[in-house]
A and B are shown apart, each in its own frame.
Chain A
Amino acid sequence: MIRLLKIARREYVSYLRTPGFWISLCVAPLVLGFALMGGPKALQSAAPPPRLTVIDLTRSGFDRALQPTLSGEPPLAEIVAPPPASTDAGSPEQAIAPLRAALSARGERALDLVVIISGVSTKARVDFWTRDPTTSSLAGLVERAVGDRMRQNRLIAAGLPSNLLKSVDAVQPEVRSFSPRARSERVSFRDQAPTLLALGLAFVLWMAVVTGAGILLNSVIEEKSGRILEVLMSCASIPEILGGKILGVAGLTGTVLAVWGALGLAAVSRTSPHLLGELGGALLSHGLIVWFVLFFAGGYLMYASIFAAIGAFCETSREAQTLLGPLMIVLSIPMVFLSLAQQRPDAPVIVILSWVPLFTPFLMIARIASGLPLWQVAGALLEMAATAAVIMWLCARAFRAGALSGGGKLDVKRLLAAFARPAET
């Protein structure tokens, strides 16, 4: 046990000393802070909105109708007045002719988008001319605005007074959400917070597992390529080495999560102190925080053991790629279904996948906040724990074989042979 702790300490301290650790510790809060403190605005100013001109050949006010949609704060487009040669044209083909050069040009006189509306006020046709054939970001907005205007024109043509039309357009329903599982039946943020938080925790768990297992992989590869593993094995048992390394990296990941969590709490308490209670309640509801810790432990142990075993066979990261590729595909599967697990936690595909031990940590966390029966969560946890134990046992065997092997190409066949007969690999 003392050896295990010494190895864990070395693992922890060695990474604490690297610039990479401090960079990764700071990057996430910096990105989050940037996003919260007006980063999008800064990005907006760095990337000015597209320059657009609207030519309304119907002369029925479509260009004016588009103004409120496209301008605003921040503006979606910079609207440029069209040249008279275009507004006086008799057809869309004639209207675009004077603007073709501007669509191809660069600089201040360049145009990104030309919208030509032709036909009649109740049956209009919209032609989009774009600099780049792949640009279509404003097409949907323009289509809706022109469509609304066409419907209004028809209603006015049918005799509806324009002031009545305006008041009818302003009518909006009062929407209220209820659920028998909400605290006061009416759904509030407090009821949605656990689900949102669970989704966030599942994502954090995935990130932590991938990052931690990746660190472990590189650490083992460094020891393998640096011929250190054999010396370590003469000083400590495989469970001590593997356990120490896993514990050390877990401590490292835990430190990162703790720092991020503390910074997040500080930010929330400063900007929205009323949310602190909500978040605290959400973490405690359905035992979310307890399950998170348990599923984190299981998930981390499973993946860390697999990554470490792979690393023991490799002297370079390139050698590890052969098996890391398929493993990363497996790891990405729960991420694909994470959003669905939050929205429809009882969907059959989610239920089935959440019982697959390799996916359990991520999908179960995302489902827990919906109020799953205890037997489901506990059952999945036990199944995952048993699987983690088997995986760790097999990976310890493979780790021993890999650590003493002479390198060479690593493939599934060789890894399986190491699982089966570590002493003969």
Chain B
Amino acid sequence: MTPALDLQQVNKRYGDFHAVRDLGFSVEPGTIFGFLGPNGAGKTSTLRMVLGLIPPTSGRITVLGASDPTTVRDRIGFLPEERGLYRRMTPVEAVVFFAGLKGVPAAKAKRRGIELLESQGLGDALNRPMKALSKGMAQKVQLVCALAHDPELVILDEPFSGLDPVNQQGLEELIRGLADRGATVIFSTHVMAHAERLCRRIVLMARGRKVFDGTVREACASATQRLVLEGAITREQALALPGVVSVEAARIEDDGPMRLLADLARDAQPQAALKAAFERGLDLTQFRVEAPTLHEAFIVLTGGAA
């Protein structure tokens, strides 16, 4: 199957600054793909190259089977990180204009625009000028503008920023809906929780380089597991358990048991620590293994570049 997006040995330089180095990955059609990384990692430059806004210094980019992304721009929907719309336009006019630029006839764009805007809870604001809308409403209008032409590839740059939790959840559902109908969604975000919930695959960037390419589970596996220990246990006893490399924090609850958070070495087995705790007769009321989150994996994989 032809990938929706394929990058090979892509480099981007701005004068002496190397923004993207030897980047290569591909995205399967119909998937939700997370493109993650801290600020300055090269995400925006990469997305701009994918959209054909700037040319790569070297390397090859294939978008929806085309080596020149500008030839398939009508099949791509794009929501940039920094958003804005014409202040005097109404949401419906904005959708008709941008969908029109993607080749959708005005009547169809209007029909589809109203449908999408209403589904986003903007039914009362269809004909109000953009300058009269709240920031969250304007963001949703721009999202609708990016989707009104039914794109095959949707690129969302930090789509969750500025949205309240309810709207973030709505956006997650929308993204899942896009993938369900066969569109490929690529989004960048700083909030790992969204990527963890949405993505099958992620690419993690740091300082212009790809530092991880794989599934979310594989990414999480690169971070260490953590034990939560509760009961009459001291820091020293916890540190003496096999595989424990550090006890990060200890919290004493008022009139309650002690809780320790113990980090395990990468290849350590939690079962070994549990067995040792029984053998040593430690008075534990809770022994829990916490799987690492993508957020923790992000920090480990980027080397704290954020």
Contact = CB atoms under 8 A, between A and B. Distances in A.
Interface stretch (A175-183, A227-235, A285-293, A295-303): A227-235
Nearest to A7: B101
Nearest to B55: A423
A226 B85 CA distance: 6
A337 to B, nearest CB: 40
Interface residues of A, number: 27
Contact of B80 (A10, A222, A230, A236): A230
A391 B55 CA distance: 22
Contact of A234 (B76, B84, B86): B76
A17 interface: yes
A128 to B, nearest CB: 58
A16 to B, nearest CB: 11
Contact of B82 (A10, A227, A236): A227
A255 interface: no
Given A7-B101, A235-B73, A404-B48, A226 B80 contact: no
A190 interface: no
B102 interface: yes
Contact of A404 (B15, B53, B97, B101): B53
B54 interface: yes
Contacts of A236: 73, 101
Interface string B74-111: 00101010111111110000000110111100000000
A425 B54 CA distance: 11
Interface string A23-50: 0000000000000000000000000000
B8 interface: no
12 contacts: A6-B97, A7-B101, A10-B97, A14-B86, A226-B85, A228-B85, A231-B98, A231-B146, A232-B101, A234-B51, A400-B54, A423-B57
A236 B13 CA distance: 24
Contacts of B146: 231
Among all A-B residue pairs, the 7 with the closest Cβ atoms:
A227-B84, A226-B84, A235-B101, A234-B78, A227-B82, A230-B80, A234-B51
Contacts of A234: 51, 53, 73, 76, 78, 80
A424 interface: yes
A227 B85 CA distance: 7
With most chain B CB atoms within 10 A of its CB, the pick from A17, A222, A235, A425 is A235
Nearest to A401: B54
Contacts of A423: 54-55, 57
Given A235-B73, A236-B101, A237-B70, A404 B80 contact: no
Nearest to A236: B101
B54 A231 contact: no
Given A223-B86, A400-B54, A423-B57, 15 more contacts: A6-B101, A10-B86, A14-B88, A14-B89, A228-B84, A230-B80, A231-B142, A234-B76, A234-B80, A235-B73, A235-B102, A237-B70, A404-B48, A423-B55, A424-B13
Contacts of B85: 226, 228
B98 A235 contact: yes
Contact of A3 (B15, B88, B101): B101
A223 B83 CA distance: 11
A222 B87 CA distance: 9
A230 B53 contact: yes
Contacts of A3: 101
Contacts of A18: 88
A227 B101 contact: no
Contacts, number: 65
Contacts of B54: 400, 404, 423
Contacts of B97: 6, 10
B204 interface: no
Contacts of A17: 88
Interface string B20-64: 000000000000000000000000000010010111010000000
A18 B89 CA distance: 12
Interface residues of B, number: 31
Nearest to B56: A423
A220 to B, nearest CB: 13
A425 B102 CA distance: 28
A14 B86 CA distance: 9
B27 to A, nearest CB: 18
Nearest to B155: A234
B278 interface: no
A6 B83 CA distance: 21
Nearest to B69: A234
B145 interface: yes
Interface in A211-227: 222-223, 225-227
B80 A231 contact: yes
A228 B88 CA distance: 13
Nearest to B97: A10
A226 B84 CA distance: 5
Nearest to B149: A235
B133 to A, nearest CB: 13
Contact of B145 (A14, A225, A231, A404): A231
Contacts of A222: 86-87
A230 B13 contact: no
B138 to A, nearest CB: 10
A50 B146 CA distance: 69
A226 B83 CA distance: 7
B102 A230 contact: no
Nearest to A417: B15
Interface string B95-133: 001101111000000000000000000000000000000
Contacts of B14: 424-425
Nearest to A5: B100
Nearest to A233: B53
Contacts of B89: 14
A13 to B, nearest CB: 9
Contacts of B88: 14, 17-18
Contacts of A6: 97, 100-101
Nearest to B102: A235
Contacts of A228: 84-86
Contact of B87 (A2, A7, A226, A233): A226
Contacts of B80: 227, 230-231, 234
A225 B82 CA distance: 10
B78 A231 contact: yes
Contacts of B57: 423
A3 to B, nearest CB: 5
B128 to A, nearest CB: 15
